[in-house]
Amino acid sequence: MRLSRIVLASESPRRLELLRSLGFIVEVAASGYAEMPLPGVSPADLASYHAREKLRATLEARGWPIDDPVLAADTVVDLDGTPLGKPLDLADAARMLESLSGREHVVHTAFALAVPGSATWTEERSSTRVRFYRLEAREIAEYLATGESLDKAGAYGIQGRAASLVKAIEGDFYTVMGLPLARLVRTLRVLGFTLPITK
């Protein structure tokens, strides 16, 4: 079945942009789910938990059955087993960037997908390794001044000015950006759906 529309259970402008790049007409339906820390849960499992709960909240609000696929996702930065979510403020963002300086970390992005005709949903997760250059205090201050940090896991967005901070990446770039597109497309295909035809 060829898809044309998808519901995004998120207000993330990056995920919206990525889904539109695949040709989808995207309906944004913020889940209203508040991400909370879960002590003892690994960063990877935390990403999956949040994605699942965002989807659950959105489906409960919309009700079944659904006419279009509903997608929720969550990204967590993993520094030596410690999850870094969105910073609370600029001071918290600075602390995160200082902790990532000259280090390797892992970015986990999980998504949960519900499709028409199914009473259950599918969950997937992708992980990518990222290494930062050693950052000078001036670099961190200049990046914080862009305003990019506050709504992003780990206090940086690789697709923006933070590209200048990244020394190497091992894995899927789009996982770091917030939605592993190839994994999503393949999941849709397994479920019997194909992408829109765009000019």
Q: Where are the domains of the chain?
A: 5-190
pLDDT at 61: 87
Q: Give 5-190's CATH code, choosing from 3.40.50.1110, 3.30.830.10, 3.90.950.10, 3.40.980.10.
A: 3.90.950.10
d(CA 25, CA 5): 5
- Asked whether the predicted pLDDT for residue 124 surpasses 60, the reply is yes
Q: How would residue 99 be classed by pLDDT, with cut points 50, 70 and 90?
A: very high
* pLDDT for residue 199: 52
Residue type (1 letter), 4:
S
Would you call 59 exposed, middle or buried from its count of C-beta atoms within 10 A (0-12, 13-18, 19+)?
A: buried
The Cα–Cα gap between 43 and 113 comes to 20
Q: Which residues pair with 25 in a beta bridge?
A: 5
Give the pLDDT band (50/70/90) at residue 196.
confident
Q: What local confidence, expressed as pLDDT, does residue 2 receive?
A: 83
Please report which confidence band the pLDDT of residue 94 belongs to, taking 50, 70 and 90 as the band edges: very high
Whether the pLDDT of residue 157 is over 70: the answer is yes
Q: Is 172 a catalytic residue?
A: no
Q: Which of 68, 74, 78, 172 is catalytic?
A: 74
pLDDT of 198 reads 66
Angstrom CA distances, 75 to 30, 86, 134, 168, stand at 16, 9, 23, 19
Whether pLDDT at 35 is above 80: no
Rounded Cα–Cα distance for residues 126 and 172 (Å): 8
- Residue 160 is predicted with a pLDDT of 87
Who contacts 163 (Cβ-Cβ below 8 Å, separation ≥6)?
none
Identify the sign of the CA torsion 82, 77, 89, 100.
positive
